[in-house]
Structure 1
Amino acid sequence: MVNFVSRVGVVVGLACALSACQAPFFANQKKEPTPPPAPVVQPKPVVQDSQAVRLLILNGEYTLAKDQLLTPANDNAYDYFRAALKLNPESSRAKGGLQGIVMRYVDLARQAAARGNYPQATTMLNNARIVDPANLLIKEVSDGLAAQIKLAPPVEPYRGGSNEFLLEASLLGKDDPKILARIAEIAQKLKSTNNLAIIIARTDGEGRWIYQKLRDAVPDYRVRGDIKLGGPPRVQLVPVAQ
């Protein structure tokens, strides 16, 4: 009986000793702080296109399909898409429409370069820069075109076809007597033949300037026609379809 009690005492003593040793260890354990909850990112609200924006985009897509990219004035894809973005700067369709114009001009530039018409290819790329000056694809194609021009043989200058009047490019946009006299000659020819004036210009602004000077030269006659982008600058006299 004595042995049993003594054994129990030993066991209890050992248990107390162990608990005494372990208590400080667990007491010194630092509880890891609970991480803060992840911030909740609220999705940016999507602004829906209004009816006015949708109508502008539809007009832009229609004129883009007809290659009315920068012209004619007030009825071209560029103006329609920009007007849509003024009403809704987040409109993805309007932004995509502007990129569609860039892609079309790049495609036209490549086609012109493949035909060896490097002035027209350059004009198309310049028009693309009006829409998106920092576009990397334009730079890539422009660099390739510059390398292609260096390797190409010299090209005979364009001399114009029948009923075509070439304009000196360096004088366009200036009230120089020489270019004004040339435009006045074309305007009188338009009046006497009642033909349409197809203006080929390097930029939309240049084409509008030529058209305005044609009108100024014959104020008593309504000049009819259209503006097309290309080069070299010239005016074609086209009979009115019967």
Structure 2
Amino acid sequence: MRKKRVFFLIVVFFLTGCQKNARLLDQMPPQQERATGAEVRSEKTGLSLLVIDKQPLQSPESNKITQEVTQAPKTSMATAKLPLTAAEKLTLSLIEQGEQALLEYRLLTPEGDNANVYFQAALGREPGNYRAIQGIATIVDVYVQWAWEAAKIRGYSKADRYLESAQDVNPHDPTIIEMRSRVSDLMSQRAMVTKQAPLKVTDTKQKDNETGYFLPKTLFSMSEDEIIAQIQPIIDDVVKTESSLAIYWPSDKEARLIYQIINSRVTAFRVRAMIFHRSDYRVELQQNIGG
């Protein structure tokens, strides 16, 4: 009897404690925590107990961020570069060959293996390709720059050939028209200087009845336009008579420069000349020199 009473009291105390715990759980704020759990049956008492697993609640904003982070790898995978097709690989190969030819200044030659051929072929396969368009523009720029450098040393015929090559590459490039205008203006300015500063020369008859042109000893201390003004009458006479030259000058370097200036301005034929290292500072026109 005594054992039964003791056991009965234990059961009463246990049930009273469970009721208090249940009331405490009912009084807890619902927005603070949420409970998840499972029932566990006591082996001794046979009563079911609720095991509480407390987890912090998440706001909608945190859920959204979590979803975005989770989905980020999927987005990056979707935007990953796809492998090149066979056609794209061929276009890329043409562009790379064109860029290599450009570095080696194979602009229009040799035929079939030059920068222009490769870039034009790439554009034919893929109109609007940026690298191909830039390559063609670079070829034009090179020829235009060469034309200007030639014009500055009075190589006007050579400058014109360079501009024609640029036009073969891209006839619609505005820089070609601009450079033609610059070269034309340069020629006009130099012609005006020549008229304003006429050459003062003494025409003397030599033993062989050739005409001689005396030039100043200080010729190469003058400006470029003044040098041309001094030499221009000789150039005009060479063009008219198709004569060869005999240059009497103490400096071989300066004598060769005089010849280069005259020859570059005579486009109809190649001027022939002989240089004599004498301090006469004179240029003679001769017929069939050395012939």
> Is the TM value for this pair above 0.5?
no
> Whose Rg is larger?
2
Q: Which has the higher strand share?
A: 2
- Structure with higher RCO (Cα < 8 A, 6+ apart): 1
- State the TM-score bracket (shorter-chain normalisation): 0.3 to 0.5
TM-score normalised per structure 1: 0.44
